[in-house]
Homo-oligomer: A and B are copies of this chain.
Amino acid sequence: MADKMKPRILSGFMELLPKEQILFNKMYDTIREVYESFGFLPLDTPVIELSEILLAKAGGETEKQIYRFTKGDNDLSLRFDLTVPLARYVAQHYGDLVFPFKRYQMSKVYRGERPQKGRFREFYQCDIDIIGNDELSLVYDAEMPAVIYNVFKKLDFGKFTVRINNRKILNGFFSSLGLSDKISDILRTIDKIEKIGRENVEKELAEFEISTGDIKKILDFVSIGGSNDEKTEALKKLGVDNEMFCEGVKEIEEVCGYMRNFGIEESYFTIDLTIARGLDYYTGTVYETVLDDYRELGSVCSGGRYDNLTEFYTKQKLPGIGISIGLTRLFSQLIDKKIISAEEMGLVDVLVVPMDEINSYVLNAADKIREAGLKTDVYYGSKGMKQKMKYADKCGIAYAAIIGEDEEKGKYITVKNMRNGEQKQVSLDDIKNAF
């Protein structure tokens, strides 16, 4: 016999055992359910796109990570996010879509990075976006955190905080100091303030040839504290003479107002002036979300507003706003840190265990349990009772429905609660109330 091939997959690809997959799907379904409850419509674009279309904008780091190849005459690439395909889709199907176009897509994307802890080459992104035709109301900027609020309340990983900022505030502020070209350096440095301390941040900022006076202004700006209302008041009092800055402050104030109207508790969101997200992409409101008890996970849901989704494909101006949950990474982190566990997970509600032969009574009973809305497996193997119960146990099945001759004669089933071992006899006609 020929040598066997050692079964394995490429590193950087998450593959789960059944119990973990059940838990993963539960999270996936919860997110999908909330997305749909807010009226987002499903979308499913191809994994493979034409390279010239997909990479119309990309460059640098992104392009190096792409899985790109030719097949026949075609130069093809696997999608590396769901935003570029959305832009292509909206431009392509513009005439057939109803605007504002609210869509969700929860699919795998591909990045051929060098594998490292917590980084995946194939991972799920769970995106929602709202695309306006020419204009898009500011209320949608508050609907995004409302969706986040509902998703993470339902996912139930404890208290979380949506951090909100507005790119106009950042751009306007740094423009007023004549530092527009240094925004990304400055923000990257400020981001380290908790780690390296204020003094070291000052030192690093000075290396970018920023004056001592400006450094003070910057640090005062990012240090603005207090409640959300106090922060917007403080921003107004800064006296920054820049139109964009003022517009940004007005917007964030309005968005916070709408967020309260959406019923988001004040303690679940905070204005955070250090948040920027992808610098050449977002143009207005931006978000990050942290789990309060697990800040080390970083942002678990991020996004923001952009002026023009489809600029590479059409002349129409289509502003949009969107957020994304990197589900594969989040799931993997939650498992690693034992915040969630798949050990007790099961999909099947009831295992039907035939004591003797598999006859119509057994299969009919299984059918009735299934009709009552319970996921029902039947053990057809010829193994002994002990083995069958072990199967139920290993699969995390909550109930066993034992059926032998006595049961058939008496037209009942014996239901065993696998958690506490309790048994009871239930009439076939009463199955709905048995579990």
Contacts and interface: CB of A to CB of B under 8 A. Distances in A.
Interface of A: 4-10, 13, 15-18, 21-22, 24-25, 36-39, 41-50, 52-53, 56, 67-72, 74, 76, 87-89, 91-93, 96-98, 100, 102-103, 108, 110, 112, 121-122, 132, 135-137, 139-140, 143, 258, 260-263, 310, 312-315, 347-348, 351, 358-360, 362-364, 367, 370, 375-378, 380-382, 391, 394-395
Contacts of A92: 7-9
Contacts of A391: 98
A226 to B, nearest CB: 23
Nearest to A379: B100
B44 A15 contact: yes
Contact of A367 (B24, B263, B348, B394): B263
Contacts of A370: 37-38
Contact of A42 (B13, B18, B135, B395): B18
B69 A39 contact: no
Nearest to A26: B42
A111 to B, nearest CB: 11
A42 B67 contact: no
A381 to B, nearest CB: 5
Given A8-B50, A46-B13, A139 B69 contact: no
B4 A314 contact: yes
Contact of A380 (B96, B137, B314, B347): B137
- Which among A47, A97, A367 has the highest number of chain B CB atoms within 10 Å? A47
A89 B360 CA distance: 34
B46 A22 contact: no
Nearest to A122: B46
A377 B38 CA distance: 5
Contacts of A74: 10
B37 A376 contact: yes
B10 A89 contact: no
A354 to B, nearest CB: 9
A21 B42 contact: yes
Contacts of A143: 378, 380
A382 B137 contact: yes
- Which among A18, A67, A135, A314 has the highest number of chain B CB atoms within 10 Å? A18
A173 to B, nearest CB: 28
A357 to B, nearest CB: 10
A381 B137 contact: yes
A300 B42 CA distance: 25
B89 A67 contact: no
